[in-house]
Chains A and B, each alone.
Chain A
């Protein structure tokens, strides 16, 4: 289990251009597999264009208490990219005026940003319908100062979305680190205790499932059923919905795919599972991703590949929702991850 980010390890895959090169060379350059642009052109879906904004996703920093094997952010304790209060204030101006119905805070572990609580308090005043914080669960148990996070989330009516790769200890700890499963279970119990995730409760608690290896997620509904039964039977834990998310072949997951000699087979699996219906609903068409330093991207994955939005508006300080609507989405072969099978987004399946 790695304890440092690719960046800290000075891995060549910490370089975004190297990742993009890999995704364009080899099987895609030789024509063995079609490039994403050509594939979506077959069904007249190129270029993908942004529709009306529904989800504003803000990444408040890459620092995290965990170093998960599959992390597309390459997050970890050694990452120092943290959103400043100045950028948060620029974001707040946008949050107050946006037409988006969902505000989605992510990281890293967003709670590790020193201004996180201030930002949540301020943002919650804007009255956005669905206010999500992506919490990795273990952060709640990591340090005493985080123990009251469930109460804090409740106070501000935050919708908690948390990662949970499996309902068994072995598979969870292998992906996310030793002890993660037990801490996550305790954190879920803490959240349940104050009403989060309980059937019919307005305090929403959803889980995110990522496959713990070089395979695609199964049917989201079936997985949700299995997760619910196992977590309830074994630990008395409730949650609302499960989002099954496909691992995209970038950053640490790409590093894993290459090191384990699974890269080509995985890309084949993604291309074979290509679903044009998922393309029609892919999340970049209704989402905007804001990086820790305020730059705008079509999605969190493009942010990590440093592929900025194709628009005159590049930064949150120049934000203009009308100008951003209709922009052409920036694509590469990693996009196959969102169009495989039932599709994948930060909100789970899309088809």
Chain B
């Protein structure tokens, strides 16, 4: 085993997951490809969503892939950072909205 959990060169080997289950691997990559095709959303918009999600799930492979993908599509660093703040706001909001639960509990228990 390598001494780190993540190796950037593993990203290039993503396709190899099909080797141990060809059927499901093929279905996944087919689905993946379709998802990112131009639809009601542009491929550019989907790339920015992917970048924001990549940061939310903190996947280094995905951050690597969708930062590069964004640059190729002409997405600016300002657009990328705005997308990240959307992720950050939702993550922060997800913590804070639970504050209502805390407040309910406190209000119920306190005299």
Taking beta carbons and an 8 Å cutoff, which residues of A are in contact with B? 166-168, 170-171, 209, 211, 213, 215-219, 222-223, 226-227, 268, 272
Please give the distance in Å from B6's CB to the nearest CB on chain A.
Answer: 16
B73 adjacent to A218 (CB under 8 Å): yes
B76 adjacent to A171 (CB under 8 Å): yes
B74 adjacent to A223 (CB under 8 Å): yes
- Dominant SS among interface residues on chain B: helix
Taking beta carbons and an 8 Å cutoff, which residues of B are in contact with A? 12, 38, 42-44, 68, 71-74, 76
Given contacts A215-B68, A219-B43, list 17 more A-B pairs with CB under 8 A. Answer: A166-B74, A166-B76, A167-B74, A171-B76, A211-B71, A215-B71, A215-B72, A216-B72, A218-B72, A218-B73, A218-B74, A222-B38, A223-B73, A223-B74, A226-B73, A226-B74, A227-B74
Q: Which residues of A contact B44 (CB under 8 A)?
A: 222, 226
Q: Which residues of A contact B43 (CB under 8 A)?
A: 219, 222
B72 adjacent to A211 (CB under 8 Å): yes
Pick the most buried of B43, B68, B73, B74: most chain A CB atoms within 10 A of its CB: B74
In the complex, residue of chain B having the shortest beta-carbon distance to the beta carbon of A165 = B74
Q: Which single member of B42, B71, B72, B76 contacts A168 (CB below 8 Å)? A: B76
Please give the distance in Å from A158's CB to the nearest CB on chain B.
Answer: 28
B76 adjacent to A222 (CB under 8 Å): no
Please give the distance in Å from B36's CB to the nearest CB on chain A.
Answer: 12
Q: Which single member of B12, B42, B71 contacts A213 (CB below 8 Å)? A: B71
CA distance A217 to B73 in the complex (A): 7
A272 adjacent to B12 (CB under 8 Å): yes
In the complex, residue of chain B having the shortest beta-carbon distance to the beta carbon of A168 = B76
In the complex, residue of chain A having the shortest beta-carbon distance to the beta carbon of B79 = A168
Task: Name 5 interchain pairs, CB-CB below 8 A, sorted by A.
Answer: A168-B76, A211-B71, A215-B72, A217-B72, A227-B74
